[in-house]
């Protein structure tokens, strides 16, 4: 039973449909059979990384250095399929590719790109993106992490929080204040098998969301970084924001994968579940809720596709990405909650996906910009007036 009542598949090219089929098959083969166990045990399946790399999903929107060089729409389609499996798995791909690898690709030197991007695309090295701090989330300009010059090196001191993959990362893209504004640094988390002095990454636990993913606190206590590891083209907050834009675009697609999976799971359930001698799917109230769910899903999918086409045409603007993330996250979490309700008591178990998706989406709608932040971005685009400090 299809949820694509508008036949949006007909708007995709043959190559885009091929990407969709390949990633959907990977999810069906590698993720669906085990995701409930990973979520319950709160483990990230690092053994999955080679399969993601082999499919060309790590830094897939980048060109060169072993990256797949896929279009924005193809990237979005892949994120939607991965998140139909689980938001935590899609988050790994986003952190690795849209954040860490993009930072190196956009702002790194040729030497840095050659050293890291091929290994990261192959899944041989993992990266993280250290921007958020305990007291600087929605306002990254308030970051306190500081890098001071010491001869040919930099000394980093500070704290970061909610940093995906940090405890398993080989390289951390760390953003810090300097005497000359915000700069980015590549911090190797270990050298010759020994932890880098002063760098500590501690997984945050216990969590009720994103349990098949890793988020960490980072402590930077006098971490020494050579000048050669500073990102030379990263100047000011615009640099990390360019990376966040890539991740937010992926979320605008990805969240809808969770929503679609929740709807498909619910359709199958209500078609088999009998109430008062007839299928639950035959009840008017059930059909009304399902109709609202598919309407909301397909509206958001149309918006995501439109944004993808604009991105491929190099026309996409930051406020459009905010519209996509805000609309998709709102729609997805509402769909997953409605799906859980239609599943009744069985909906609170890990045998069925909607409540797991809904829990994950509480994180997805918060990271890479909260609903409120994206609302203000849209408001500024409409009025020309920034209200962030109003």
Give the number of C-alpha atoms closer than 13 A to the C-alpha of residue 158, restricted to the C-beta side. 23
Q: How many CB atoms lie within 10 A of CB 372?
A: 11
Closest among 169, 161, 136, 146 to 219, alpha carbons compared: 161
Q: Are 121 and 58 in contact (CB under 8 A)?
A: yes
The token pair that represents 372 in the structure block = 């409120």
**Residue located via tokens 């708007």:** 11
Q: How many CB atoms lie within 10 A of CB 272?
A: 10
Q: Are 223 and 156 in contact (CB under 8 A)?
A: yes
Q: For 188, phi and psi rounded to 5 degrees?
A: -70, 130
CA–CA distance, 104 with 72 (Å, rounded to integer): 19
The CA-based diameter of the chain, rounded to the nearest angstrom, is 80
Burial of 118 (0-12, 13-18, 19+ CB in 10 A): middle
Task: Please state the length of the chain.
Answer: 390
CA–CA distance, 140 with 134 (Å, rounded to integer): 10
Q: Are 319 and 369 in contact (CB under 8 A)?
A: no
Name the active-site residue from 272, 320, 368, 372. Answer: 368
Closest among 125, 158, 126, 162 to 144, alpha carbons compared: 158
Catalytic residue status for 368: yes
CA–CA distance, 92 with 47 (Å, rounded to integer): 13
Q: Are 243 and 318 in contact (CB under 8 A)?
A: no
The token pair that represents 213 in the structure block = 């993913």
- Measured between its terminal Cα atoms, the distance across the chain in Å is 49
Q: Active-site positions?
A: 368
């Amino acid at each position: 039973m299809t949820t694509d009542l508008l036949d949006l598949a007909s708007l995709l090219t043959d190559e885009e449909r091929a990407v969709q089929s390949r990633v959907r098959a990977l999810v069906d083969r590698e993720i669906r059979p085990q995701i409930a166990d990973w979520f319950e045990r709160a483990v990230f399946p690092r053994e999955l990384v080679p399969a993601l790399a082999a499919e060309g999903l790590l830094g897939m929107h980048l060109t060169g250095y072993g990256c797949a060089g896929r279009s924005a729409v193809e990237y979005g389609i892949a994120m939607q399929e991965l998140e139909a499996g689980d938001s935590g798995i899609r988050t790994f791909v986003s952190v690795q590719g849209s954040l860490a690898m993009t930072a190196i690709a956009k702002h790194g030197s040729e030497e840095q790109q050659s050293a890291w991007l091929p290994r990261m695309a192959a899944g041989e090295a993992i990266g993280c993106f250290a921007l958020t701090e305990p007291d600087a989330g929605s306002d990254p300009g308030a970051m306190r992490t500081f890098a001071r010059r010491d001869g040919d090196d930099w000394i980093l001191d500070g704290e970061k929080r909610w940093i995906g993959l940090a405890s398993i990362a080989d390289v951390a893209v760390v953003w810090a204040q300097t005497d000359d504004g915000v700069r980015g640094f590549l911090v190797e988390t270990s050298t010759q098998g020994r932890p880098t002095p002063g760098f500590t990454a501690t997984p945050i636990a216990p969590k009720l969301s994103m349990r098949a993913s890793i988020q960490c606190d980072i402590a930077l206590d006098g971490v020494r970084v050579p000048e050669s590891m500073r990102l030379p083209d990263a100047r000011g907050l615009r640099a990390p924001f360019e990376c966040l834009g890539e991740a937010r675009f992926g979320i605008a697609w990805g969240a809808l994968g969770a929503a679609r999976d929740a709807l498909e799971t619910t359709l199958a359930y209500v078609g088999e579940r009998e109430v008062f001698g007839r299928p639950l799917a035959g009840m008017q109230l059930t059909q009304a809720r399902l109709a609202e769910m598919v309407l909301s899903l397909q509206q958001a999918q149309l918006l995501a596709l439109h944004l993808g086409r604009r991105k491929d045409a190099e026309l996409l603007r930051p406020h459009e990405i905010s519209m996509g993330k805000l609309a998709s996250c709102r729609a997805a979490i509402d769909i997953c909650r409605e799906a859980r309700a239609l599943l009744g008591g069985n909906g609170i178990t890990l045998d069925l996906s909607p409540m797991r998706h809904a829990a994950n989406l509480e994180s997805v709608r918060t990271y890479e910009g909260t609903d409120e932040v994206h609302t203000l971005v849209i408001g500024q685009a409409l009025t020309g007036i920034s209200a962030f400090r109003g």
